[in-house]
Homo-oligomer: A and B are copies of this chain.
Protein backbone atom coordinates (compact mmCIF):
# COMPACT_ATOMS: atom_id res chain seq x y z
CA UNK A 1 0.00 0.00 0.00
CA UNK A 2 2.98 2.28 -0.43
CA UNK A 3 1.78 3.29 -3.88
CA UNK A 4 1.24 6.92 -3.01
CA UNK A 5 4.62 7.24 -1.43
CA UNK A 6 6.39 5.69 -4.40
CA UNK A 7 4.48 7.49 -7.10
CA UNK A 8 4.68 10.85 -5.44
CA UNK A 9 8.38 10.52 -4.74
CA UNK A 10 9.10 9.83 -8.38
CA UNK A 11 6.82 12.50 -9.68
CA UNK A 12 7.56 15.35 -7.38
CA UNK A 13 10.88 16.98 -7.99
CA UNK A 14 11.98 20.43 -7.04
CA UNK A 15 14.04 22.99 -8.85
CA UNK A 16 17.00 24.86 -7.53
CA UNK A 17 14.98 27.92 -6.55
CA UNK A 18 12.97 26.16 -3.89
CA UNK A 19 9.80 26.08 -5.98
CA UNK A 20 7.45 23.16 -6.45
CA UNK A 21 8.01 21.87 -9.98
CA UNK A 22 4.52 20.41 -10.20
CA UNK A 23 2.77 23.73 -10.31
CA UNK A 24 -0.36 22.43 -11.99
CA UNK A 25 -2.33 19.41 -10.89
CA UNK A 26 -3.57 16.86 -13.41
CA UNK A 27 -7.32 16.56 -13.91
CA UNK A 28 -7.20 13.22 -12.15
CA UNK A 29 -5.47 14.73 -9.12
CA UNK A 30 -8.06 17.50 -8.94
CA UNK A 31 -10.77 14.89 -9.19
CA UNK A 32 -9.33 13.01 -6.20
CA UNK A 33 -9.40 16.08 -4.00
CA UNK A 34 -12.97 17.08 -4.91
CA UNK A 35 -14.13 13.51 -4.53
CA UNK A 36 -12.74 13.38 -1.00
CA UNK A 37 -14.39 16.68 -0.10
CA UNK A 38 -17.85 15.79 -1.42
CA UNK A 39 -17.85 12.19 -0.13
CA UNK A 40 -16.59 12.88 3.39
CA UNK A 41 -19.25 12.04 5.99
CA UNK A 42 -19.63 12.35 9.74
CA UNK A 43 -19.93 8.66 10.61
CA UNK A 44 -21.81 7.48 13.67
CA UNK A 45 -23.39 4.12 13.02
CA UNK A 46 -21.56 2.04 10.43
CA UNK A 47 -18.26 1.15 12.08
CA UNK A 48 -16.73 -2.29 11.55
CA UNK A 49 -14.41 -3.93 14.11
CA UNK A 50 -11.69 -4.44 11.44
CA UNK A 51 -8.30 -3.09 12.55
CA UNK A 52 -6.75 -0.12 10.75
CA UNK A 53 -3.24 -1.02 9.51
CA UNK A 54 -0.50 1.17 10.98
CA UNK A 55 0.59 2.18 7.47
CA UNK A 56 -2.83 3.73 6.86
CA UNK A 57 -3.02 5.42 10.25
CA UNK A 58 0.44 6.85 9.70
CA UNK A 59 -0.60 8.45 6.41
CA UNK A 60 -3.72 9.95 7.97
CA UNK A 61 -1.66 11.41 10.84
CA UNK A 62 0.90 12.87 8.42
CA UNK A 63 -1.92 14.52 6.48
CA UNK A 64 -3.09 16.17 9.71
CA UNK A 65 0.46 17.20 10.60
CA UNK A 66 0.75 19.06 7.29
CA UNK A 67 -2.15 21.38 8.02
CA UNK A 68 -1.47 25.11 7.99
CA UNK A 69 -0.55 26.56 11.38
CA UNK A 70 -0.19 30.12 12.56
CA UNK A 71 3.48 31.06 12.89
CA UNK A 72 4.33 27.43 12.02
CA UNK A 73 3.30 26.56 15.61
CA UNK A 74 2.05 23.07 14.75
CA UNK A 75 0.11 23.26 18.03
CA UNK A 76 -1.60 19.87 17.60
CA UNK A 77 -1.10 16.59 19.45
CA UNK A 78 -2.80 13.28 18.76
CA UNK A 79 -4.00 11.05 21.59
CA UNK A 80 -4.81 7.61 20.21
CA UNK A 81 -7.33 5.78 22.36
CA UNK A 82 -7.86 2.04 22.17
CA UNK A 83 -8.25 1.20 25.86
CA UNK A 84 -11.80 -0.09 26.56
CA UNK A 85 -11.69 1.60 29.99
CA UNK A 86 -10.96 5.04 28.54
CA UNK A 87 -13.55 4.59 25.78
CA UNK A 88 -16.16 3.56 28.35
CA UNK A 89 -15.43 6.60 30.45
CA UNK A 90 -15.80 8.90 27.45
CA UNK A 91 -19.00 7.12 26.51
CA UNK A 92 -20.41 7.66 30.00
CA UNK A 93 -19.68 11.36 29.68
CA UNK A 94 -21.36 11.41 26.30
CA UNK A 95 -24.46 9.69 27.72
CA UNK A 96 -24.78 12.26 30.49
CA UNK A 97 -24.26 15.23 28.14
CA UNK A 98 -26.65 13.70 25.61
CA UNK A 99 -29.41 13.47 28.22
CA UNK A 100 -28.83 17.09 29.19
CA UNK A 101 -28.95 18.06 25.51
CA UNK A 102 -32.30 16.34 24.88
CA UNK A 103 -34.01 18.60 27.37
CA UNK A 104 -32.79 21.67 25.49
CA UNK A 105 -34.84 20.97 22.35
CA UNK A 106 -38.46 21.94 21.79
CA UNK A 107 -41.01 19.14 21.89
CA UNK A 108 -41.26 18.66 18.15
CA UNK A 109 -37.50 18.32 17.68
CA UNK A 110 -36.93 16.38 20.90
CA UNK A 111 -38.33 13.06 19.68
CA UNK A 112 -36.41 13.39 16.42
CA UNK A 113 -33.26 14.18 18.41
CA UNK A 114 -33.68 11.07 20.55
CA UNK A 115 -33.75 8.86 17.47
CA UNK A 116 -30.50 10.16 16.00
CA UNK A 117 -27.35 8.11 16.58
CA UNK A 118 -24.69 10.69 17.39
CA UNK A 119 -21.51 8.77 18.23
CA UNK A 120 -19.62 5.51 17.68
CA UNK A 121 -17.21 5.69 20.63
CA UNK A 122 -17.36 2.03 21.60
CA UNK A 123 -17.89 0.41 18.19
CA UNK A 124 -15.12 2.26 16.38
CA UNK A 125 -11.76 0.51 16.89
CA UNK A 126 -9.82 3.74 17.45
CA UNK A 127 -10.71 7.06 19.02
CA UNK A 128 -8.39 10.03 18.45
CA UNK A 129 -8.38 13.29 20.37
CA UNK A 130 -6.74 16.17 18.51
CA UNK A 131 -5.66 18.97 20.83
CA UNK A 132 -4.12 22.46 20.74
CA UNK A 133 -1.11 23.44 22.87
CA UNK A 134 -1.64 27.16 23.39
CA UNK A 135 1.90 27.70 24.65
CA UNK A 136 3.82 25.52 22.22
CA UNK A 137 6.20 28.11 20.83
CA UNK A 138 6.26 30.76 23.52
CA UNK A 139 4.24 33.86 24.20
CA UNK A 140 4.58 35.77 20.94
CA UNK A 141 3.58 33.98 17.76
CA UNK A 142 3.70 35.46 14.25
CA UNK A 143 0.15 35.97 13.03
CA UNK A 144 -1.30 35.46 16.52
CA UNK A 145 -0.45 38.86 17.93
CA UNK A 146 -3.96 40.19 17.28
CA UNK A 147 -6.18 37.14 16.75
CA UNK A 148 -5.47 34.90 19.72
CA UNK A 149 -7.77 32.16 18.47
CA UNK A 150 -5.52 31.37 15.48
CA UNK A 151 -3.78 28.44 17.21
CA UNK A 152 -7.14 26.77 17.89
CA UNK A 153 -8.04 27.24 14.24
CA UNK A 154 -4.75 25.64 13.17
CA UNK A 155 -5.66 22.48 15.06
CA UNK A 156 -9.09 22.50 13.40
CA UNK A 157 -7.38 22.57 10.00
CA UNK A 158 -5.46 19.47 11.12
CA UNK A 159 -8.79 17.80 11.94
CA UNK A 160 -10.11 18.52 8.45
CA UNK A 161 -6.96 17.15 6.76
CA UNK A 162 -7.22 14.05 8.97
CA UNK A 163 -10.86 13.57 7.98
CA UNK A 164 -10.28 13.94 4.24
CA UNK A 165 -7.27 11.59 4.26
CA UNK A 166 -9.30 9.01 6.19
CA UNK A 167 -12.10 9.18 3.60
CA UNK A 168 -9.70 8.46 0.74
CA UNK A 169 -8.49 5.42 2.71
CA UNK A 170 -12.07 4.17 3.12
CA UNK A 171 -11.92 4.95 6.84
CA UNK A 172 -14.89 6.67 8.47
CA UNK A 173 -14.54 9.49 11.00
CA UNK A 174 -17.15 10.83 13.41
CA UNK A 175 -16.63 14.02 15.45
CA UNK A 176 -18.20 13.73 18.92
CA UNK A 177 -18.86 17.13 20.46
CA UNK A 178 -21.59 16.27 22.98
CA UNK A 179 -19.09 16.06 25.83
CA UNK A 180 -18.23 18.25 28.80
CA UNK A 181 -14.86 19.89 28.35
CA UNK A 182 -13.95 19.29 31.99
CA UNK A 183 -14.78 15.59 31.89
CA UNK A 184 -12.78 15.11 28.69
CA UNK A 185 -9.81 16.95 30.21
CA UNK A 186 -9.95 14.78 33.30
CA UNK A 187 -10.28 11.45 31.47
CA UNK A 188 -7.37 12.25 29.16
CA UNK A 189 -5.27 14.02 31.85
CA UNK A 190 -4.90 17.18 29.75
CA UNK A 191 -2.71 19.94 31.27
CA UNK A 192 -4.21 23.43 31.54
CA UNK A 193 -2.51 24.75 28.41
CA UNK A 194 -3.89 21.93 26.24
CA UNK A 195 -7.33 22.50 24.68
CA UNK A 196 -9.24 19.48 23.34
CA UNK A 197 -10.32 20.44 19.82
CA UNK A 198 -11.91 17.29 18.42
CA UNK A 199 -12.79 13.88 19.80
CA UNK A 200 -12.93 11.57 16.78
CA UNK A 201 -14.15 8.00 16.27
CA UNK A 202 -12.25 6.19 13.56
CA UNK A 203 -12.77 2.92 11.72
CA UNK A 204 -13.61 1.09 8.53
CA UNK A 205 -17.33 1.27 7.76
CA UNK A 206 -19.93 -0.88 6.07
CA UNK A 207 -20.87 2.08 3.86
CA UNK A 208 -20.72 5.84 3.55
CA UNK A 209 -24.04 7.61 3.31
CA UNK A 210 -24.90 9.64 0.24
CA UNK A 211 -25.90 12.72 2.20
CA UNK A 212 -25.22 14.15 5.64
CA UNK A 213 -27.54 12.34 8.06
CA UNK A 214 -29.15 15.53 9.35
CA UNK A 215 -30.03 16.45 5.75
CA UNK A 216 -31.62 13.05 5.09
CA UNK A 217 -33.51 13.24 8.41
CA UNK A 218 -34.96 16.61 7.31
CA UNK A 219 -33.42 18.27 10.35
CA UNK A 220 -32.12 21.09 8.17
CA UNK A 221 -31.72 21.54 4.41
CA UNK A 222 -28.52 22.25 2.49
CA UNK A 223 -28.38 26.02 2.03
CA UNK A 224 -28.22 27.41 -1.52
CA UNK A 225 -24.66 28.68 -1.90
CA UNK A 226 -25.59 31.79 -3.87
CA UNK A 227 -27.32 33.11 -0.74
CA UNK A 228 -24.05 32.82 1.19
CA UNK A 229 -21.99 35.01 -1.11
CA UNK A 230 -21.78 38.79 -0.89
CA UNK A 231 -19.45 41.39 -2.37
CA UNK A 232 -17.12 43.90 -0.71
CA UNK A 233 -19.21 44.10 2.49
CA UNK A 234 -21.67 42.02 4.51
CA UNK A 235 -24.97 41.48 2.69
CA UNK A 236 -24.00 43.49 -0.39
CA UNK A 237 -25.34 41.63 -3.42
CA UNK A 238 -23.78 41.42 -6.87
CA UNK A 239 -23.76 44.87 -8.45
CA UNK A 240 -21.71 44.53 -11.63
CA UNK A 241 -21.57 42.02 -14.48
CA UNK A 242 -18.50 40.28 -13.08
CA UNK A 243 -20.17 39.66 -9.72
CA UNK A 244 -23.48 38.70 -11.31
CA UNK A 245 -21.78 36.16 -13.53
CA UNK A 246 -20.23 34.46 -10.48
CA UNK A 247 -23.67 34.15 -8.89
CA UNK A 248 -25.05 32.71 -12.14
CA UNK A 249 -22.15 30.25 -12.27
CA UNK A 250 -22.80 29.13 -8.67
CA UNK A 251 -26.45 28.58 -9.52
CA UNK A 252 -25.68 26.58 -12.66
CA UNK A 253 -23.07 24.47 -10.80
CA UNK A 254 -25.60 23.43 -8.18
CA UNK A 255 -25.71 19.91 -9.55
CA UNK A 256 -21.93 19.56 -9.42
CA UNK A 257 -21.51 18.72 -5.75
CA UNK A 258 -25.03 17.38 -5.40
CA UNK A 259 -24.22 14.67 -7.91
CA UNK A 260 -22.20 13.12 -5.08
CA UNK A 261 -25.04 13.09 -2.67
CA UNK A 262 -28.38 13.09 -4.47
CA UNK A 263 -30.03 9.86 -5.40
CA UNK A 264 -30.43 9.45 -9.14
User: Which of B25, B72, B144 meets A35, CB within 8 Å?
Assistant: B25
Whether the pair B13, A189 counts as a contact (CB closer than 8 A) is: no
Residues in B with CB closer than 8 Å to A164 are 33, 37, 164
- A77: Cβ under 8 A from any B Cβ: yes
Residues in B with CB closer than 8 Å to A8 are 31, 34-35, 38, 256, 259-260
User: Which of B3, B157, B212 meets A159, CB within 8 Å?
Assistant: B157
Contact (A230, B78) CB under 8 Å given A146-B181, A164-B164: yes
Determine how close the nearest CB of chain B comes to the CB of A224; give it in whole angstroms. 10
Q: How far is the CA of A116 from the CA of B156 in the complex (A)?
A: 25
Q: How far is the CA of A169 from the CA of B233 in the complex (A)?
A: 26
Stoichiometry, copies per complex: 2
Whether the pair B80, A231 counts as a contact (CB closer than 8 A) is: yes
- A22: Cβ under 8 A from any B Cβ: yes
Majority DSSP secondary structure for residues of A touching B? mixed
- A57: Cβ under 8 A from any B Cβ: yes
Whether the pair A23, B207 counts as a contact (CB closer than 8 A) is: yes
Given contacts A23-B207, A71-B214, A149-B152, 4 further A-B contacts (CB under 8 A): A37-B164, A70-B177, A79-B232, A101-B145
Residues of A within 8 A of B (CB): 3-5, 7-9, 12-14, 16-20, 22-40, 42, 54-55, 57-59, 61-63, 65-68, 70-74, 76-83, 86, 97, 100-101, 104-106, 109, 113, 116, 118, 131, 137, 140, 142-147, 149-150, 152-153, 156-157, 159-161, 163-165, 167-170, 175, 177-181, 187-191, 194, 197-198, 207-212, 214-216, 219-220, 222-223, 225, 228-236, 242-243, 245-246, 249-250, 253, 255-257, 259-260, 262-264
